Amino acid sequence: MDKGLIIETHPLTAFEQMAADEVLCDALLSTHTLRFYNWSGPGVTFGYSQRIASVRSGIGPEKAALPLVRRPTGGGIVFHESDLTFSFVFYQPGAYFEPAKTYDRLHRAITGAYAQAGVSFELLNEKTPDYRINNPVMACFAKPVNLDILYNGKKVLGGALRKFGDHMLYQASFQAPDARTNSGFHRNVIIKALGVEYGLSWRSGEFTGRETEKLKALAKTKYGAKEWNERI
C-alpha cells in the first residue's frame, strides 16, 4: 500500500488557494497528495479558458466584490462561500489522458464511499456539452455536466483537471447544504474514497516555510495579477 499525504494549510485567500495547488504540483511531496482548502473568506474561481468579460457578467453585481481568480484547471464559475473545497494531486504518467475516464474513476469512488456511509448520490450519465469559452451560462453548480455528482437531481460535487507532467491536478467543490457544518464527516468519506481507490494509507503533513513563502509570492505575482486573471 502506498503512502498518501494529506496537507493541512492555514486559512488562505482565493489567490493563495490557487497558488498552494501550484506549489503542490511543483514540489510533488508525494505521489498522491490531498488538500482540503481552509478559507480565510469567500471567493470566486473560474476555469482557465473562460473569458473574463463573460465571467464578470455571469457573476452579477451582488457578487462582484468577492475576490475573483482564474483557476489553472478548467470548468466554469464556482462560488466558494459555504462549500468544502479540496484538491488532489496524483501520479498519472504519459502525455495523453482521457478526462472522462479520470472523472469517472474519481467520482465513482466518491459516490461509492458515500453509499457505504449511508448517503445516496448519483453520477450524471448523459452527454452534455462542455463549458465553452464564451458560454454565457457558466456557473458550474447551475449547469451540471456529464459525470458530475448529484443529490436528488441537484449537483453537489464537480471537479476540474489539469495535467502537469506525469501528475494530475484535480480541484473539486462539494456544495451540499452541510458541506462545512458537517465537514468532518465529508472529509472522512472523501479521504476513504481516494485511499481505497488508489490503494493509499494516509499521513498528515504541512508546507515548509519555504513552500509557504513560495505560495504567498505566487498569490501576488501570478494569481492576484491582472495578467493572469484577464488573460482572455
Q: Residues 166-225: pLDDT tens digits?
A: 999 999 999 999 999 999 999 999 999 999 999 999 999 999 999 999 999 999 999 999
Q: What is the CB neighbour count within 10 angstroms for residue 218?
A: 22
Q: What single letter denotes the amino acid at residue 184? A: G
The total of structural domains in the chain comes to 1
Q: In the predicted model, is pLDDT for residue 135 greater than 60?
A: no
Q: What is the pLDDT of residue 141?
A: 80
3-state secondary structure of 195: helix
Q: What percent of the chain has pLDDT over 70?
A: 95
Query: Cα–Cα distance between 58 and 60 in angstroms, integer?
Result: 6
DSSP 204-222: EEE--HHHHHHHHHHIIII
- Read off the pLDDT of residues 25-67 as tens digits, 9 standing for 90 and up: 999 999 999 999 999 999 999 999 999 999 999 998 999 999 9
User: Residues 161, 73: contact at Cβ < 8 Å?
Assistant: yes
Which CATH number covers residue 211?
A: 3.30.930.10
Q: Which domain holds residue 72?
A: 2-229
Beta-bridged to residue 43, according to DSSP, are 80
Q: The cell 484535480 sits on which residue?
A: 170
CB neighbours of 132 closer than 8 A, spacing ≥ 6?
Answer: none
Q: What is the pTM of this model?
A: 0.94
